[in-house]
Amino acid sequence: MFSLLAITPHDDTVELPWLAQLFADNLQRLHVRKPGWSRAELAAYLQAIEPQYRPRLVLHSHYDLAHEYGLGGIHLTETARRAPSLARLLRGLGGRSVSASLHTLSDVQQHRRRYNYVTLSPIFNSISKEHYPSGFDLAQVQTVLHKLAARPGYRPQVVALGGIAAANVAHVREAGFAGAAVLGSIWQSSDPGATWRELVAQANAASQSFHTGS
């Protein structure tokens, strides 16, 4: 099943007034990425989100807050993946999801830690970051993903990240990704709610086209 995720803007809280609407429109996973924020700042942010939605949140830092606020998971940065305390962190998650960021097809093929999913980026030219172009050929990515799907044992669920918009989300789904993570196209929109609904509609339309062969 193809899943759409969202990632927060990095350095402000413009998303907060929109979150209840997005969750009501079936946003199931919001990655909270606030690099540079202190633990207290991040805790205050989490307190501003209704408790019933907190299990849909995934933290990119200050991972102990996931337990304190009943969040849905954590996303490991490269630094966190190298930390000596990683094994202890993972043992204490209590069933929460664990994801990670990867940036090459080789990383996707060679990693062996059993993440719930991994992001691969940037699939398209980034919307939120200037001068961050795609380094991927989608046809090559599709070939690799199809081979992974047939691999015995652990088959990583790969989520596309980077430049995801309503105009290209169908191509992402057709390439064999398990999902797509959206950032700039939502938060740089004048109406994030409408943009999210259009993304969902285009992803669902791609699914129907794929299954009917049209």
Helices (H) and strands (E) in the chain, counts: 10, 8
Distance between CA atoms of 118 and 81, rounded to whole angstroms? Answer: 13
Q: pLDDT-based confidence at 76, cuts 50/70/90?
A: very high
Q: Which amino acid is at 100?
A: A
So what's the pLDDT on residue 214? 39
Is residue 50 classed as helix, strand or coil in its secondary structure? coil
The pLDDT tens digits of the residues spanning 161-181 come to 999 999 999 999 999 999 999
The pLDDT tens digits of the residues spanning 177-199 come to 999 999 999 999 999 999 999 99
The pLDDT tens digits of the residues spanning 28-69 come to 999 999 999 999 999 999 999 999 999 999 999 999 999 999
Distance between CA atoms of 31 and 183, rounded to whole angstroms? Answer: 10
* DSSP string computed for 142-185: HHHHHHHHT-SS----EEEESS--TTTHHHHHHTT-SEEEE-HH
| Contact yes or no for 136/158 (Cβ under 8 A) | no
| Contact yes or no for 53/23 (Cβ under 8 A) | yes
Token pair in block for residue 162: 């980077």
Q: Which amino acid is at 214?
A: S
For the chain, domain boundaries: 3-212
- Which CATH number is 3-212's, of 3.40.190.10, 3.20.20.70, 3.30.450.90, 3.50.50.60? 3.20.20.70
Any bridge partners for residue 160, and if so which?
120, 180
Distance between CA atoms of 167 and 5, rounded to whole angstroms? Answer: 16
pLDDT for residue 209 is more than 60 = no
- Cα-to-chain-centroid distance, residue 199: 14
